Amino acid sequence: MRVQLRVDGEAAVAEIDRPGESLLATLRDRLGRYGTKNACEQGECGSCTVLLDGDPVCACLVATAQCEGRDVKTVVGAVPRPVRDAFIACGAVQCGFCTPGLLVSVADLLARDDDPSDVQIREALAGNLCRCTGYEKIIDAVHAAAEAMADGTARPPQRQWITTPVVPSAAAEATEATP
Amino acid sequence: MPEPASNPPSGPAAGESAIPESRAELSAAEPGAARDATTAAAPAAAPEFPTPPTRAAGGVGTPHLPGGVGSSPARPDAEAKVNGTFDYASDLAFPGMLWGHTLRSPHPRARLRAVDTAAALAMPGVAAVLTAADVPGKLHYGLIEADQPVLALDQVDYQGEPVAIVAAETLDLARRAAEAISVDYEVLEPACDPEEAVANGSYFRYQPVRLGDPDAQVPAAVVAREYVVGMQDQAPLGPESGAAVPTGDGGVELYVATQWVHSDLEQIAPCLGLEPDRIHMAIAGIGGAFGAREDLSVQVHMAMLALATGRPVKMMYDRAESFFGHVHRHPARMRYEHAADADGRLLYVKARIVLDGGAYASTTEAVVGNAASLAVGPYEVEHVSVDAWGARTNNPPCGAMRGFGGVQTCFAYESQMDALAEALGLDPLEFRRRNAVAQGSKLITGQIVDAYDPSRADGGRPFSPLADMLGRFKEIPVPAVPAGRDIIELPGGTGNTTHGEGVRRGVGYGVGLKNICYSEGFDDYSTASVRLELVDGQTVAFVHTAAAEVGQGHWSLQAQIVRTELGADRVELLPNDTKAGSAGSSSASRQSYMTGGAVKAACEAVRELLRGRDLADGPVEATRVFRHRATKPMDPVTGQGESHVQLALAVHRATVDVDVELGLVKVVDLTCVQDVGKIMNPVALEGQIHGGSAQGLGLAVMEEMITEQGRVKNASFTDYLIPTILDMPPMRLRIVENADPEAPYGLRGAGEPPTLSSTPAIVAAIRDATGLPLTQIPVRPEHLTAHFGRQP
């Protein structure tokens, strides 16, 4: 079965061989878009949250077959820069596995409400589990992002002076040992 | 991930100014020296080349450099993580890669009569189906004792034990092939009661502690209770995963999310029948750990499949398999008896502690040591009788989880301290203060509390960090009950269950004492290499360690230390792999101390080598191994011995609202006072305290893996609940810096202590609201409503 959809503004075509294949599996395993994370495949953790025609959904609960002609935005295409900057600056990122899904949910929240209260933030993000942060810094980050987006003053980009290790993957270092 | 070249070098101080003021409040402690170090906030100009700091122990003399120790530079991994481009182990992909999958036993205990793999092997696209007969080398592995089969031999001993492994073209196919494997089980009765196991002599370790003569004492008040702690799961969001790539000459490369890559290698190599130098291991991106990645999961299996097929093999557990694929926190049953004299001083403590280690040894031995040595917490008592066991049963294997043996007993001893205070008519804080350990005190193991400035005194008495911390709550008022509240803020939250009629408020305290680093004589060390060279006119420090960045911010910390010690313009962290020496595990709150210490030592060596040399003449490199002071094993009969390296304290106050009619609990405030010795990175530190407190909240009110006769009933996030953002209250932090003169920069490990203390604080608050004794965690609604309808 051939499904045509748009992912982060680009046309994409998925050849799926199982009618029940989830959008999450298609994004990751067929389209190589690993930005959306798989942590439970039951719609409980929110790590795979994407925008489907503008609405937040758990990609693990949406069948790719339902996505013909639809618009999917992942962490790559859905999240304004100030939201990402705020997550970095406030320490809302630890292991980071929940971060892509959270960022999409925050982007959706701020698109609906440009100055949410703590209670509104908690309700809006109740579907995104985070095991590292206890959520305090995430709430800080949402407020910081709302402020940055309201006054239009983008935070100057952090100049990075620490470089992280790189583990080889298909993109980086193809293995010569592969037959 | 960012390429080195694409990162514009920068002047320092990139991080700090941009960080919005945190809602948590940081306050340095009194000690003058430490305070000076952290409050010298005005960033000094970047030094040309820093003058060598003094030994910097105790925080003394640590220069406050922009981006250095004491600041919060942007995490180096954060940019990739917010862009979705950070490569977690589950994101790895290699050309020609196969997917591996594990067939696990559905029975907690059974004999394996036969395993028939023919149907699975015959499926098109299936490349290999392997069983115990295909294990190339040693048949067992284990962190401390190699007792766990790579694949089940003739018997399975817990539900979820691996029986066979499959490699196929897709994960879906691998799963279906595993279903096609036919296993003939002779189901046996599982042994699931840890008390029975202990009675039958089936346990991994028994550790008593004997001090004084409890039975000869004449107390004014005695409290004896039994406590039950459920089985908690680490539930890191990133699943167990990794990839194995054959090198073509019989060796293999492994990329895996692990907390301790060298321990992995030591266990894997014998099972694969390979010399360790034929295996290259690197740590792939880790989505949280909390102890779940200390034991092996996918490592040997994917390596076997890769070697058997000659192709790269990836394995990734789904959530259900993850619950079966790692060890858990030991459930516990504890009987405690506390007695005090009329002056409110502890007279004796007796404790009987049974931890359920499940089917295999894992780290149960060390967990029992912690449970026994920390069994009464940070209180002085001269007469003690503790018996602690780690039982062997057919329940899921238990091992490392944040808090590691300190969590279970903390719930019990803190509950006891409250109960005894009540029996004596004393305020719970005052009772704790009277019994708090101080500099020079002895723990129940005979270990002397020596980690504080000996010259500090508290009104003529030795300095007691705990008494000081308890006193700080006076300055932080309990939040008032607001006049009007959003219904979401009441117990029941979005369920719209109340308008507040049956809601009662309660306040409670909890104190936790955790040992930092490895105890009981373990040779605990870490290794770091630092190379300083000029690149395009800039000083660049290349740092190589094998320490796992599990999310705690250790990469930042290494770079901060290099910045402080060498003032490098840029820090490049090399892959964390087995080409470096062992860093030990990212556990026991030890990496800041140990690998931080190793990086600091390597920097100091580089600085020495640079004396009278010009960096333009060539790079300078040094490798250093760092060890903490030696510890001793606990005496097997008396439990006596200086078994711990460092002790760390955290105190929580919890405020809760309880709907006493429906049994629903809402934690409305958590306030934590923690002694961290030295604030190395304020933002990361607050994150550790917040996150640790959250896991303690989970254990207090919701988290439990439920087993029935060895079968796990809730292996999913639908049924195993972890705190959401709606469950977590706002948190207020007071961070105290009582420097440890032995530790790098005076720091104390910080990740675990808040996980100990938040649980008893929350349960104490629920007791305060309900008047119920509550001796079991997690506290469930039925525990709070069971008294309704009971005949008086």
Q: In this predicted structure, what is the pLDDT of residue A19?
A: 85
Q: In this predicted structure, what is the pLDDT of residue A154?
A: 55
Q: Which residue of A has its CA nearest to B574?
A: A165
Please answer yes or no on whether A93 and B552 come within 8 Å at the CB atom.
no
Assess B144–A contact: CB distance below 8 Å, yes or no.
no
Which of A93, A155, A159, A164 is most worth mutating to test chain B (most B CB atoms within 10 A of its CB)? A164
Q: Is the pLDDT of residue B532 over 80?
A: yes
Q: In this predicted structure, what is the pLDDT of residue B32?
A: 32
Mean pLDDT, chain B, integer: 91
Please answer yes or no on whether A177 and B245 come within 8 Å at the CB atom.
yes
Closest to B82 (Cβ–Cβ): which among A99, A118, A119?
A99
Q: Is the pLDDT of residue B781 over 50?
A: yes
Closest to B255 (Cβ–Cβ): which among A130, A163, A167?
A167
Q: What is the dihedral of CA B535, B541, B547, B548, to 10 degrees?
A: -50
The answer to whether residues A114 and A52 touch, using CB atoms and an 8 Å cutoff, is no
Q: What is the 3-state secondary structure (H, E, C) of chain A?
A: CEEEEEECCEEEEEECCCCCCEHHHHHHHHCCCCCCCCCCCCCCCCCCEEEECCEEEEHHHCEHHHHCCCEEECHHHHCCHHHHHHHHHHCCCCCCCCHHHHHHHHHHHHHHCCCCCHHHHHHHCCCCCCCCCCCHHHHHHHHHHHHHHHHCCCCCCCCCCEECCCCCCCCCCCCCCCC
Instruction: Enumerate the residues of chain B whose CB falls inside 8 A of the CB of residue A136.
Output: 23-24, 686, 690, 728, 730-731
Instruction: Enumerate the residues of chain A whose CB falls inside 8 A of the CB of residue B74.
Output: 88-89, 158, 160
Please answer yes or no on whether B288 and A97 come within 8 Å at the CB atom.
yes
Please answer yes or no on whether A164 and B76 come within 8 Å at the CB atom.
yes
The pLDDT-based confidence of B106 (bands split at 50, 70, 90) is very high
Assess B729–A contact: CB distance below 8 Å, yes or no.
no
Q: In this predicted structure, what is the pLDDT of residue B158?
A: 98
Q: Is the pLDDT of residue B50 over 70?
A: no
CA distances to B37, B72, B205, B226, B387 from B201, in Å: 54, 51, 10, 22, 14
Q: In this predicted structure, what is the pLDDT of residue B452?
A: 80
Please answer yes or no on whether A95 and B96 come within 8 Å at the CB atom.
no
Q: Is the pLDDT of residue B792 over 90?
A: no
Q: In this predicted structure, what is the pLDDT of residue A156?
A: 52
Please answer yes or no on whether A135 and B690 come within 8 Å at the CB atom.
yes
Please answer yes or no on whether A44 and B716 come within 8 Å at the CB atom.
yes
Q: Is the pLDDT of residue B395 over 50?
A: yes
Instruction: Enumerate the residues of chain A whose CB falls inside 8 A of the CB of residue B170.
Output: 29
Please answer yes or no on whether B95 and A144 come within 8 Å at the CB atom.
no
Q: In this predicted structure, what is the pLDDT of residue B64?
A: 54
The answer to whether residues B81 and B74 touch, using CB atoms and an 8 Å cutoff, is no
Please answer yes or no on whether A169 and B91 come within 8 Å at the CB atom.
yes
ipTM over 0.85 threshold? yes
Residue in the block written with tokens 């929580």: B652
Which of B724, B726, B733, B757 is most worth mutating to test chain A (most A CB atoms within 10 A of its CB)? B724
Instruction: Enumerate the residues of chain B whose CB falls inside 8 A of the CB of residue A26.
Output: none
Q: What is the DSSP string of B695-750?
A: HHHHHHHT--B-EETTEES--STTTS----TTTPPPEEEEEE----TTSGGG----
Closest CA to B285 of B531, B84, B561: B84
Instruction: Enumerate the residues of chain A whose CB falls inside 8 A of the CB of residue B238.
Output: 37, 39, 95, 97
Closest to B288 (Cβ–Cβ): which among A131, A155, A170?
A131
A172 Cα to chain B: minimum distance (Å): 10
Closest to B718 (Cβ–Cβ): which among A44, A139, A165?
A44
Closest CA to B516 of B421, B415, B681, B374: B374
The tens digit of pLDDT for each residue in B54-72 reads: 333 333 344 456 799 999 9
Residues 6+ apart with CB under 8 A from B124: none
Closest to A158 (Cβ–Cβ): which among B18, B170, B728?
B18
Q: How many CB pairs under 8 A join A and B?
A: 298
Please answer yes or no on whether A164 and B77 come within 8 Å at the CB atom.
yes
Closest to B74 (Cβ–Cβ): which among A40, A76, A89?
A89
Instruction: Enumerate the residues of chain A whose CB falls inside 8 A of the CB of residue B20.
Output: 86, 89-90, 140, 144
Share of chain B above pLDDT 70, in %: 91
Please answer yes or no on whether B96 and A156 come within 8 Å at the CB atom.
no
Beta strands in B517-603 (DSSP E): 525-535, 538-544, 570-573
Please answer yes or no on whether A76 and B687 come within 8 Å at the CB atom.
no
Instruction: Enumerate the residues of chain A whose CB falls inside 8 A of the CB of residue B686.
Output: 91, 136-137
B43 Cα to chain A: minimum distance (Å): 17
The tens digit of pLDDT for each residue in B484-510 reads: 888 888 999 888 899 889 999 999 999
Given a cut of 50, the residues of chain A with pLDDT beneath it are: 170-179
The tens digit of pLDDT for each residue in B718-774 reads: 999 999 999 999 999 999 999 999 999 999 999 999 999 999 999 999 999 999 999
Both structure tokens of B465: 């960090």
Residues 6+ apart with CB under 8 A from B21: none
Which of A121, A137, A161 is most worth mutating to test chain B (most B CB atoms within 10 A of its CB)? A161
Please answer yes or no on whether B245 and A37 come within 8 Å at the CB atom.
no
Please answer yes or no on whether B82 and A75 come within 8 Å at the CB atom.
yes
Q: In this predicted structure, what is the pLDDT of residue B453?
A: 74
Please name every residue paired with B458 in a beta bridge, in sequence order, or none if there are none. B461
Q: In this predicted structure, what is the pLDDT of residue B488?
A: 84
This prediction has a pTM of 0.92
Q: In this predicted structure, what is the pLDDT of residue B755?
A: 98
